[in-house]
């Protein structure tokens, strides 16, 4: 028989095979494969994907399809011993879509096809269950009406609700046989009324109509959208699978169940699942009857159990992975309805992967590719007990994984206080700022109303390994009045809430959580990953504690040590503010002095005298601010030296990349708006004049330093250029700490990183300062200093001119947070206003602050790598944006030849595995090309 | 004689010629050329640039140079009739640098070389002026000591000051002959002391040392920096010119003067200049003696005058440009010391160019290249009377040219009030915002303390053709207290100041200004430009008045009509606020309704009832904000329709690009900080509760909408995607206006421009809305609508993915303001904090918001043009950033094949000329290549 359009399967024979996914779709190919493997699956046939395309083009299927389909149907009737539409013992079939790639829930399915006014009675007799037969019929009418005839679901739901109301019952199962018979009639009447046609009683007509409806569903809106999202070509088409229905509710020798070949929670190698006798699939999951563990089946149906063990064992070996299967026993006969790779917890995934390697079922390489790196997060953080009931009140961004339970506080001060009293709190803020570091550290979790995946709260929380839900815009915070609202619900200061940082959910009350567990298998598994990957993994850490944590997670260095967090420590902030309040003043006065000196050089006569007087005044004005600025900078030196000593020592033997001061200075000063309110209130009260004057003076400084767009403002190397003293102080602190450690035989490798460079001349300016300091320190200590000076590539212009910059810089580190902000023009702190909308509309495939935008930002990255290596072939290149811990982005970095990725300490294991997977995929692609 | 290293000139003969700039440098070539043309220049010789490179490499000159130099010196002595070092009548020479490209003031010069203890006496006798001889000697010692021996200038200045103090005199000229003799001895002593060597008495030694010092000065820091700045290769080297000195102060038959071959202020064809008898060059400009007009020379030295007229006429014809010349008469003998193209006012430049074309001295093409496009600005704006005395108090950015005198006001309200009373005011603000439009319109000029060249104040002022000084950071504004301070000086509200928007200067009091004049020559000249250029010039204009102005200046369309300014009109702002205060609320409630509807579809039982109740509440809550939002949008439609009708009609026959709403919505709401202060004060006072509540509510909305980095926030097409109703309303207003005008036979060509697109999917979304509206309008009016839909390329990602975007967009317009902001990561409103510093340090060559950064941003522009044209060969591409009016940027746009540039109305003539020049330069390059 020729199989151009329709492929049969059943009774151990199949026209197709498992490698024909293009033709038969994934499901059709699997059905053929299982059948050929001697696994009992209900017989049926598959109409090919090609027919879908023909149907899409022509609006109908060619005559040849009809012919082949008739033959396949005859064969199916033959194998199953029943006939479609038989009034005594009807063959019922399911009609399902099945494309090459799984598109779960996107297309339509029709069950119980073959029922009509006569065959329903045959089914009633055969199953000795008239209620079941009528219920099957009304379900078929509903599905057929909706899917094939495109009648709104509500039409049927409305009738169902009406009859339940009439009978005074709540559940569908409370309806009587009589009620269902009435409903069948009503449904048929509504179908005629709405579609203008009678419900087709002829099962062959039903079948053709259902097939065509499935083809049409290939082009429905959600399927088309799903394909766009998942980059599935539109011209693949879907196959249609027509398969005999089997029933597990035919009596005590029938039944149905689900199971796994290994425990999906723990990974234990045990046969795991549940079943019910005389039941249909949905009964097992509906919770009305309590199902039995599969072990009991051995007692109740020993033959079936034996066969099931044998079959599922074979399936696991065949597919070389844990199987999640569904089966039905009809009159003592076992049918496999479905088998697929089983979803599993992270713990189970690792356990199974390691076990299967030792069972020699799979290779280490395959094992590594089996575990989703993102899943490892579960192993490193506490999580919500999946069995717990939750009262979900809002959903924001899953900004930092884990779970946290605590009392609501609205400011960092309260958080610190509560922590000192041993209380767990959740810090709830519009958005956090660097002032909140201590409060965040003291909290169990952080909830913010604005801000995206790389907002301050998100970045800092991830760095701390602390649970955070960010950008939860439905939370309306009334900070001063001590409560927040979500819709109509109000939560007071002190109320307990639970955060799920892995899903972004916020729950009312305390939800039970599970602590993370790390197993021996985890270490073994990760060691395989490390032996495969070439790309190194570093961590972003600012303090020794985090650096040690990162090292414990396998970090091979620090890729980003931000120095600004050090500036907020209590012993620093007075010096920092003294520095900031006097630096700009001193600077502008110094300029005036220089200008006057220049003028004076050319001047003569009366003008000369005037200028001399002005110069004297200017020099006098300059003296005090300059002294205070210099004093503050000098005071910072020993403190910073200790900071760097700590982090360098913690990473002995490994490189530590330290970034010079980055944020705009006003971030270290009091909030402008709050200060303005204070001044206004003081003025209104007519309070202490000198206090008012000093506040006003402070406000003026804050106003002068404040910026419209701080992200694009006076920050990064721009600060270091305006205030070379700060760069010099930081370089000196780093290099003096280095010299001291080296003298103690602690091997350290500092890499000094200049932020926000956009032009090679900025870098040259800063590097000259660092090199000069290094020369001084080397001379005064007699130590040979093994330092590097490099830059972040985070401004688009830096990427575009990377060749020029590489001629001066010894390393590049892609700051993909800023690079994404500037390339898209998205402020990470404001994107929450439209991000969800963009994702919903499919304008963005994913949050570009989570997963690197390879199409846009990626062009800048790969261009910069090429230009950088062109100018300096041995330049060390890494990435230290948040993307360094995202598996897709890690893969991109690998393909672009980066030397390392750097991410939050808690994402280091994820990056290690992702890097290994990238290597394996690359090797595979290479092998395929060869 | 062979001329490998040294080229002589003098007495009508020269070894070199005018086209040997590579070898002789610019000055050496010009001296050779003048000599060959029979023009009397003091004789001398040039040591070639090649020797400079040999010197740099070896540290000394080869013996062959010495030989050639000796021969050349002998020839010079021969021609001049004097000998170097002759104790009776010494030849004195100047030793000057002269590279291929002029590097004014960068390298060193030594005058009076050849003087020593003996020859100074000969000079005294010959000039009969011992004081002059001694003064020449001490100057030579000073220059030689500083330049050749590298002794600090201060060493000599100190001695000079000391002797003046001792003698109780102030001016150098008050020193006696005796004093000068003493100074000569002191200087020699100090030279020995400091350098450890005696001052060399041998003139030949002096000459070699001076020559080498000039060579060394090629590599001094400022020269190297200047070359980097001006992209002059380091390996060109400088030549050294040794030339006989002549003296105009030898008696009544000697003299010196300066002049122009045409009047440099008016362009009138008249011989113009001044001279003094028995004087040296510096006496003419020093202002101690009053020089005579050149016309008097005809009477005093008729022969010399005749010769001078003849020579300068020949020079003008030879160089085919106005000459600015210096001459000296020594004992009745005329020497030309210098001739160069004369600097001239804009008016003169146009007049001279047009005259020279009619005199057939130059071609129209040459005439066009002679005028600096930037200069045209002078012709279009009032300017400070150059002869006025000014009291300059501060200098900011020259943000919008022209001059303005007025009383200080600190807010827009006061500005409008003053204007209504007929008073001229200067609006002084930290920075303006869109609320200030009316106040800016009412002011004579605007002064801001922050903000760069493309800050709000700068952009709007340029659009209005109004004088503006921006980013004047030394101005410390105390707005509430009604004054500003600059250093110690205080200026009160109502005090008069004067702004010079062309230089950025702020002057105390009223400075006289000159009104612009446009001559007939201007029109003629511009018509030549228009006939040459291929690239079109449009204007950025938002209102019909500006559009008409632009048209009068020659604009060929509107390249950018911003619609947001329309939103601030008094009749709009209540509707705009109603729209903004309800839109986001309605939107979030609508989302909640949709979510509840979806939940309800799947729900059953008790949950269903709960959801139904919640849905009912949500729908009820949604009703009012939705109604208010819809009402406001509907109210805007007829108003916007009139706006667009006006501007489209004003540009009949020409295209008008209209941008949909761009700024973030909070820009239209009250200032957050001011509102927060109001609320705090109301709370403190315990005022009216309902007023407080409504203010609090408003504050909450403002807080919700406010952004950390508005430039990267919820704006541009992001707004149009969140609120499609706004895009639809604007599209409808544009297209209904179009339909109505077309029906009246007014030919209009609207181009609808979607701002801030970064991904083709954003554009697709917005274009679909516009096309749908267009279809509706076409159907309801029966008019065929000739509209285009395109996008700005202003986000780096748009440039990177321009191929994808071009597949959907019908035109591109580069928004280079935003593109520069994001490519550099510079906020145009904050760059003032470090821009000057960057320019001073040479980190930036020029303000990238004024002149397009071709090395970085330019890569994105040219890449996007290539990608865009690749995907859609006929795509129309323009630029509408502020760069569209900058000549360098216009040239860049031309080279990259843009169809048009668009700029402020007042810069349209500049762009027209710049475009013509770009065409001419390009043709020339093409011809040279061919």
* Interchain proximity B860–A800, CB inside 8 Å: yes
How close does chain B come to A187, measured CA to CA in Å? 19
Backbone angles phi, psi at A550, to 5 degrees: -60, -45
CA of B791 vs chain A CAs: smallest distance (Å): 15
Question: Residue A503's pLDDT is what?
Answer: 86
> Which of B174, B601, B611, B708 to mutate to probe the A interface, most A CBs <10 Å?
B708
| Annotated active-site residue in A467, A880, A893, A903 | A880
Which of B467, B468, B472, B880 is an active site residue? Answer: B880
Q: What is the pLDDT at residue B382?
A: 85
Residues of chain B contacting A765 with CB distance shorter than 8 Å: 841, 843
A345 near A264, Cβ under 8 Å? Answer: yes
- At A567-617, the pLDDT tens digits run 887 788 899 999 998 998 888 888 878 777 776 765 655 667 777 887 888
Say yes or no for a CB contact (<8 Å) between A830 and B713: yes
In this complex, do A834 and B718 lie within 8 Å of one another by their Cβ atoms?
yes
A2 — pLDDT class (breaks 50, 70, 90): low
Neighbours of A318 (CB within 10 A): 15
Selecting from A700, A825, A841 the residue whose C-beta is nearest the C-beta of B765 gives A841
Predicted pLDDT at A522:
92
When pLDDT is cut at 50, 70 and 90, the band that residue A912 belongs to is: very high
- Exactly one of A52, A292, A381, A456 is catalytic; which is it? A456
Q: Does A69 touch chain B (CB under 8 A)?
A: no
Q: How far apart are the CA of B136 and the nearest CA of chain A, in angstroms? A: 21
Report the alpha-carbon distance of residue B461 to residue A839 in Å, rounded. 39
Q: Which residues of B touch A170 (CB under 8 A)?
A: 605
Single out the residue of B80, B166, B86 nearest to residue B125, CA to CA: B86
**pTM of the complete model:** 0.82
pLDDT of residue A849: 93
Q: Is B880 a catalytic residue?
A: yes
* CA–CA dist A512, A466 (Å, integer): 17
> For position A625, what pLDDT does the model report?
92
Q: Which residues of chain B from 482 to 511 reach within 8 Å of chain A, CB to CB?
A: 487-488
Whether A711 contacts chain B with CB within 8 A = yes
By CB atoms closer than 10 A (0-12, 13-18, 19+), residue A257 is buried
Name the residue of chain B whose CA is nearest to A589's CA. Answer: B487
For residue A669, the distance in angstroms to the closest alpha carbon of chain B comes to 16
Confidence at residue B284, expressed as pLDDT on a 0 to 100 scale: 63
Phi, psi of B396 (to 5 degrees): -120, -155
Establish how many alpha carbons lie within 13 A of residue A400's alpha carbon, considering only the half-sphere containing its beta carbon.
29
Place of tokens 């010769």: B307
- A806-844: per-residue pLDDT in tens? 999 999 999 999 999 999 999 988 888 898 889 888 899
User: Tens of pLDDT along B350-371?
Assistant: 999 999 999 999 999 999 999 9
**Better-predicted residue by pLDDT, A275 or A717:** A717
Residues of chain B with C-beta less than 8 angstroms from the C-beta of A714: 830, 833-834
Query: Do the beta carbons of residue B823 and residue A795 sit within 8 Å?
Result: yes
Res B601: pLDDT: 64
Write down the pLDDT at residue A189.
Answer: 95
pLDDT at residue B4, rounded to an integer: 85
**Smallest Cβ distance to A680: which of B473, B605, B680?**
B680
Neighbours of B22 (CB within 10 A): 14
Per-residue model confidence as pLDDT tens digits over A747-756: 999 999 999 9
B671–chain A Cβ distance below 8 A for any pair: no
pLDDT of residue B766: 97
CA distance B277 to chain A (A): 26
| CB contact (8 A) between residue A841 and residue B710 | no
A672 interaction partners in chain B (CB closer than 8 Å) = 673
Question: Which A positions 142-181 lie with beta carbon below 8 A of chain B?
Answer: 153, 170-171
pLDDT digits (tens, 9 = 90+) for A411-423: 888 998 888 888 8
- Which of A437, A451, A550 minimizes the C-alpha distance to A880? A550
* Residue-wise pLDDT tens digits, A127-166: 888 988 998 999 899 999 998 998 988 889 889 889 989 9
Question: Of A672, A482, A702, whose CA–CA distance to B677 is shortest?
Answer: A672
Task: Give A 880-899 residues with CB within 8 A of chain B.
Answer: none
Strand order in the sheet with B238-244: B13-14, B6-10, B44-47, B238-244, B93-99, B109-113
Distant-in-sequence contacts of A218-225, Cβ < 8 A, 24+ apart = A218/A52, A218/A56, A218/A97, A218/A99, A218/A107, A219/A56, A220/A106, A220/A107, A222/A106, A223/A103, A223/A106, A223/A107, A225/A842
Q: Which residues of chain B have pLDDT under 50?
A: 1
Give me the pLDDT at residue B483, please. 93
The verdict on A435 touching B (C-beta cutoff 8 Å) is no
pLDDT score, position A328:
93
Query: Helices B130-143 and B119-127: crossing angle, nearest 10°?
Result: 140
| pLDDT surpassing 90 at residue A489 | no
What number is the average pLDDT over the span A366-376?
A: 92
A709 within 8 A of B711, measured Cβ to Cβ: yes
pLDDT at A648 over 90: yes
Q: How far apart are CA A589 and CA B430, in angstroms?
A: 20
pLDDT band at A288 (very low <50, low <70, confident <90, very high): low
What is d(CA A444, CA A450) in angstroms, rounded to the nearest whole number? Answer: 19
Q: CB distance from B588 to chain A under 8 Å? A: yes
Residue of B825, B835, B845, B855 to mutate, interface with A, max A Cβ within 10 Å? B825
Q: What is the pLDDT of residue A836?
A: 83
Question: Looking at residue A520, what is its pLDDT?
Answer: 84
Q: Check A488 against B617: CB less than 8 A apart.
A: yes
Please tell me the least confidently modeled range out of A208-212, A374-378, B796-800: A374-378
Interface with B, mutate which of A394, A695, A709, A828 (most B CBs under 10 A)? A709
Q: Chain B: nearest CA to A354, how far in angstroms?
A: 40
- Mean pLDDT, range A393-408, rounded to an integer: 89
Chain B closest CA to A761's CA: distance in Å?
A: 5
Q: Which chain B residues are Cβ-neighbours of A228 within 8 angstroms?
A: none
Instruction: Confirm if A283 and A132 have CB atoms less than 8 A apart.
Output: no
């Amino acid at each position: 028989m020729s199989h151009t359009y329709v492929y049969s399967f059943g009774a151990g024979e199949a026209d197709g095979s498992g490698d024909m996914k293009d033709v038969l779709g994934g499901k059709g190919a699997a059905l053929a494969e299982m059948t050929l493997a001697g696994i009992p699956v209900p017989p049926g046939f598959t109409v090919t994907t090609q027919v879908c395309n023909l149907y899409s083009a022509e609006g109908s299927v060619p005559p040849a399809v009809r012919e082949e389909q008739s033959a396949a149907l005859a064969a199916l009737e033959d194998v199953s011993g029943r006939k479609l539409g038989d009034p005594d013992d009807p063959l019922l079939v399911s009609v399902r879509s099945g494309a090459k790639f799984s598109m779960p829930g996107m297309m339509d399915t029709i069950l119980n096809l073959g029922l009509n006014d006569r065959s329903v009675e045959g089914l009633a007799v055969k199953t000795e269950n008239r209620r079941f037969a009528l219920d099957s019929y009304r379900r078929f009418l509903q599905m057929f009406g909706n899917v094939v005839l495109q009648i709104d679901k509500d039409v049927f739901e409305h009738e169902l609700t009406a009859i339940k109301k009439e009978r005074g019952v709540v559940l569908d199962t409370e309806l009587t046989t009589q009620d269902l018979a009435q409903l069948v009639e009503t449904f048929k009447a509504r179908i005629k009324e709405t579609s203008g046609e009678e419900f087709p009683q002829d099962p062959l007509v039903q079948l053709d109509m259902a097939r065509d409806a499935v083809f049409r569903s290939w082009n429905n809106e959600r399927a088309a959208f799903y394909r766009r999202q998942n980059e599935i070509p539109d011209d693949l088409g879907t196959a249609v699978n027509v398969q005999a229905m089997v029933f597990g509710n035919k009596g005590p020798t029938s039944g149905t169940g689900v199971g796994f070949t290994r425990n999906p929670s723990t990974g234990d190698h045990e046969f795991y699942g549940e079943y019910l006798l005389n039941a249909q699939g949905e009964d097992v999951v509906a919770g009305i009857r309590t199902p039995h563990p599969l072990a009991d089946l051995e007692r109740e149906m020993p033959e079936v159990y034996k066969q099931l063990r044998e079959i599922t064992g074979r399936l696991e070996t065949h597919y070389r992975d844990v199987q999640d299967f569904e089966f039905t026993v009809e009159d003592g006969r076992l049918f496999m309805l479905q088998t697929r790779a089983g979803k599993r917890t992270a713990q189970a995934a690792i356990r199974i992967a390691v076990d299967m390697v030792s069972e020699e079922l799979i290779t280490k390489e395959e094992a590594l590719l089996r575990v989703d790196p993102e899943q490892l997060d579960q192993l490193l953080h506490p999580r919500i007990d999946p069995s717990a009931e939750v009262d979900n009140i809002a959903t924001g961004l899953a900004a930092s994984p884990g779970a946290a339970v605590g009392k609501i506080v609205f400011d960092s001060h309260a958080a610190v206080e509560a922590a000192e009293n041993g209380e767990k709190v959740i810090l709830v803020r519009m958005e956090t700022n660097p002032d909140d570091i201590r409060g965040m550290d003291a909290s169990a979790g952080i909830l913010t109303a604005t801000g995206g995946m790389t907002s301050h709260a998100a970045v800092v929380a991830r760095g701390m390994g602390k649970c955070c839900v960010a950008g939860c815009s439905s939370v309306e915070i009334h900070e001063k009045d001590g409560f927040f609202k979500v819709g109509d619900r109000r939560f007071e200061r002190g109320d307990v809430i639970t955060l799920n940082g892995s899903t972004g959910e916020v729950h009312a009350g305390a939800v039970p959580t599970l602590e993370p567990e790390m197993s021996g298998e985890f270490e073994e598994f990760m060691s395989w990953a490390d032996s495969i990957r070439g790309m190194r993994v570093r961590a972003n850490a600012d303090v020794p504690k985090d650096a040690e944590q990162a090292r414990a997670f396998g970090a091979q260095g620090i890729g980003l040590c931000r120095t600004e967090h050090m500036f907020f420590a209590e012993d620093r902030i007075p010096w920092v503010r003294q520095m900031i309040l006097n630096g700009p003043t001193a600077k502008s006065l110094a300029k005036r002095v220089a200008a006057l000196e220049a003028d004076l050089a050319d001047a003569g006569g009366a003008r000369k005298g005037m200028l001399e007087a002005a110069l004297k005044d200017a020099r006098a004005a300059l003296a005090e601010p300059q002294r205070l600025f210099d004093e503050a900078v000098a005071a910072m030196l020993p403190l910073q030296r200790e900071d760097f000593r700590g982090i360098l020592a913690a990473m002995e033997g490994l490189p530590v990349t330290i970034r010079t001061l980055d944020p705009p200075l006003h971030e270290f000063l009091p909030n402008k708006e709050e200060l303005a309110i204070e001044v206004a209130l003081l003025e209104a009260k007519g309070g202490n004049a000198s206090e008012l004057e000093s506040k006003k003076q402070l406000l003026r400084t804050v106003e002068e330093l404040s910026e419209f767009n701080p992200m694009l403002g006076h920050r990064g190397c721009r600060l270091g250029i305006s205030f070379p003293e700060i760069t010099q102080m930081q370089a000196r602190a780093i290099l003096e700490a280095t010299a001291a450690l080296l003298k103690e035989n602690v091997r350290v490798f500092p890499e000094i990183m200049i932020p926000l460079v956009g032009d090679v001349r900025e870098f040259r300016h800063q590097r000259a300062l660092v090199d000069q300091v290094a020369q001084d320190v080397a001379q005064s200590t007699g130590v040979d200093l093994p330092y590097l000076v490099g830059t972040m590539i985070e401004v688009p212009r830096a990427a575009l001119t990377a060749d020029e910059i590489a001629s001066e810089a010894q390393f590049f580190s892609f700051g993909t947070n800023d690079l994404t902000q500037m390339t898209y023009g998205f402020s990470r702190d404001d994107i929450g206003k439209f991000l969800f909308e963009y994702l919903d509309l499919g304008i963005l495939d994913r949050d570009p602050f989570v997963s690197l935008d390879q199409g846009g930002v990626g062009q800048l990255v790969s261009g910069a790598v090429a230009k950088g290596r062109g100018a300096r072939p041995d330049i060390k290149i890494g990435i230290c944006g948040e993307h360094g811990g995202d598996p897709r982005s890690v893969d991109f970095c690998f393909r672009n030849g980066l030397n390392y990725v750097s991410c939050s300490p808690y994402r280091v294991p994820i990056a290690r595995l992702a890097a290994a997977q990238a290597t394996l995929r690359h090797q595979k692609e290479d092998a395929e090309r060869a």
